[in-house]
Amino acid sequence: MLNARCLGVNAAGHLTIGGRDTVELAQTYGTPLYVMDENEIRGNCRSYRQSIDKYYGGRGLVAYASKAFNCKAICRIVMEEGLGLDVVSGGELYTAMSVGFPADRIIFHGNNKSPDELAMAISYGVGRIVVDNIVELHLISQLAKSKKETAHIMLRIKPGIDAHTHNFVRTGQIDSKFGFALETGEAMEAVKTALAAPGVELRGLHCHIGSQIFDVEPFELAAQVMADFMADIRDQTGVALAELNLGGGFGICYTSDNDPPAYDSYMERVSQAVKKTCQQRKMETPFILIEPGRSIVGPAGITLYRVGAVKEIPGVRTYVSVDGGMTDNPRYILYQSQYTFTVASRAADAKVQGVTVAGKCCESGDLLGENVPLQEVHPGDILAVLATGAYNYSMASNYNRSCRPPVVLVNGQAARVIIRRETYEDLIRNDEE
C-alpha cells in the first residue's frame, strides 16, 4: 500500500484508517470526506520531539507548521504534545489564540504581515515573530515601542541553498521573496539594525529551504551555513545569538516512488552539522527549532469520494469522476502532485488499469491524477486518495459554490467531526441582498 502506519486492509478487503473501515466512514459521514488518524499525528509529533532529545539533548523546539492543516482540534493536539506552532497569518494566529495556545511557543512567519497582524502578535506576546524584511523590522520596532512592549523576533535568512534542484547550488536561492540574503551582506546589515532597534529583542535566526525534500544533505548544509553566520555575527558584533530555527520541508510518501528518510535521521545529521560548526568556530551550540508541517499531518489523512460516472473513451483514456476535486485538493492542478488511489471496498485487489480521476468542477483541468493505477471500479464505489492530510483542507476553496467537506478524526473506535461540512447556507452567509 503506502508506508503510513495508520492504513490497512481488513478481512472484508476494505481500506482502513486507524483500524476503522473507510467504506463505513463514508456511509456514516457522507462524501467527499477527509479522515485523519489522531494516533498517527501524535506519533509523528513524538518522533520529532524524541529526535531532538536523542541527538540534541532536548535543547530544541518542534513547531508544527500549521499552514499544512490548521483548525482548533489540531492546535489542541499539537499543544498537548508539547510542540510549538507556526502561523503565517492573522487567521492562523486567531485560531491558535482561540484554544489558548501558549504564546511563547508560537512562531509568526510571512513576507508581508500587516500592521494589524503584527499588533495582534505583539499584544498576544508571540514568542518569535520571524522578520522577513527591513520594512517589517522598522514597523515592528515602532509598534512595540508605542505599546511599550518588547517584540521577540528572529530574522529570516536566505542561506543560498536551493534544495529543489537535485544538485543543489549554494547561490540558487537569492531570487526568493522570503528573507534577507546572506551573500550580499544584506543579512548582516539586518542583524546590526535589529540589535540596535528599540522595542525588539533578537532571539536568533531562521531559514527554510523548501518543501517535500528527500535529501538530508541540503538541510545539513543549511545548518552549517547558518551556524557559521552566527559565528560571523558574534565576531562582528560581540553578540552570541541564542537560537537557530532550521525550518521544515521534510518529505513524505505520496506514491511508492517516494522514499523519505526516517523521521529522526534529519535531526541526527543536522545536529551533527551544527555541533561540528560550533566546535570549529568555538561557539556555544544554539537552541534549535524545526518546523515540520506536511510530515506531521500528511500521512495521517485520506480523502474519500464517491465515484459517479465512469467514462471510457476507447483508445484514449478512462475518466473516473468523483464528487469532489480541485475544490478539496487543488494540488494536482497546481503542481501535478502525485497521489496513490485505491478503491476502498477492493483495497486488497490488484490494480488492473490506469485511469484519470476527474473532479466535478466546471474546468477541464479539474483532475486529481492521470494514468493512475486502480482496481476495477464502478459507479457508487468509494475511492480513497491517500496522504491528503497536509495542504488539502487548508487549500480547499468554494469554487463553483462547492461546500467544503468535513474532517473526521478517528482514534481507535472513537471518531469525531473536527470541522463540519459546509452547508449551502454557509455559502450565502456573507452575500448582501
Ligand X SMILES: *Cc1c(COP(=O)(O)O)cnc(C)c1O
Please pick, from the candidates 67, 128, 306, 331, the single residue that binds ligand X as defined by CB under 6 A. Answer: 67
Please pick, from the candidates 68, 119, 358, 368, the single residue that binds ligand X as defined by CB under 6 A. Answer: 68
> Cβ 67 to ligand X, closest distance in Å?
6
Angle, helix 115-124 to helix 90-98, in steps of 10 degrees: 30
- 20 is a contact residue toward ligand X (CB under 6 A): no
Cβ contact 387:298 at 8 Å: yes
CA-closest candidate to residue 395, choices 338, 323, 333, 306: 333
Please pick, from the candidates 14, 203, 208, 331, the single residue that binds ligand X as defined by CB under 6 A. Answer: 208
Active site residue 253: no
CA-closest candidate to residue 301, choices 121, 88, 3, 38: 38
- 86 is a contact residue toward ligand X (CB under 6 A): yes
Q: Cell numbers at residue 61, please?
A: 523546539
d(CA 214, CA 224): 18
Q: Which is nearer to ligand X, 18 or 247 (CB)?
A: 247
Q: Which is nearer to ligand X, 220 or 291 (CB)?
A: 291
CA-closest candidate to residue 330, choices 405, 395, 383, 389: 395
Please pick, from the candidates 26, 35, 65, 153, the single residue that binds ligand X as defined by CB under 6 A. Answer: 65
> Cβ 242 to ligand X, closest distance in Å?
19
Cβ contact 21:12 at 8 Å: yes
Q: Which is nearer to ligand X, 199 or 247 (CB)?
A: 247
Cβ contact 344:381 at 8 Å: yes
Q: Torsions phi, psi of 65, nearest 5?
A: -80, 100
Q: Cell numbers at residue 118, please?
A: 503584527
Q: Which is nearer to ligand X, 199 or 292 (CB)?
A: 292
d(CA 2, CA 373): 14
Please pick, from the candidates 48, 108, 168, 250, the single residue that binds ligand X as defined by CB under 6 A. Answer: 250
- 325 is a contact residue toward ligand X (CB under 6 A): no
Question: Between residue 93 and residue 122, which ones bind ligand X under the rule CB under 6 A?
Answer: 109
CA-closest candidate to residue 317, choices 361, 357, 344: 357
d(CA 415, CA 16): 13
SS3 content of the chain, % helix, strand, coil (to 5): 35, 25, 40
Residue showing the smallest CB distance to ligand X in the complex: 293
> Which residue out of 45, 71, 362, 403 is catalytically annotated?
362
Please pick, from the candidates 95, 211, 321, 337, the single residue that binds ligand X as defined by CB under 6 A. Answer: 211
> Cβ 167 to ligand X, closest distance in Å?
21
Q: Which is nearer to ligand X, 124 or 214 (CB)?
A: 214
Question: Between residue 281 and residue 320, which ones bind ligand X under the rule CB under 6 A?
Answer: 291-295
Q: Which is nearer to ligand X, 92 or 366 (CB)?
A: 92
Q: Cell numbers at residue 215, please?
A: 535529501
Which residues are near ligand X by CB under 6 A?
A: 65, 67-68, 86, 109, 208, 211, 247-250, 291-295
Q: Which residues are catalytic?
A: 362
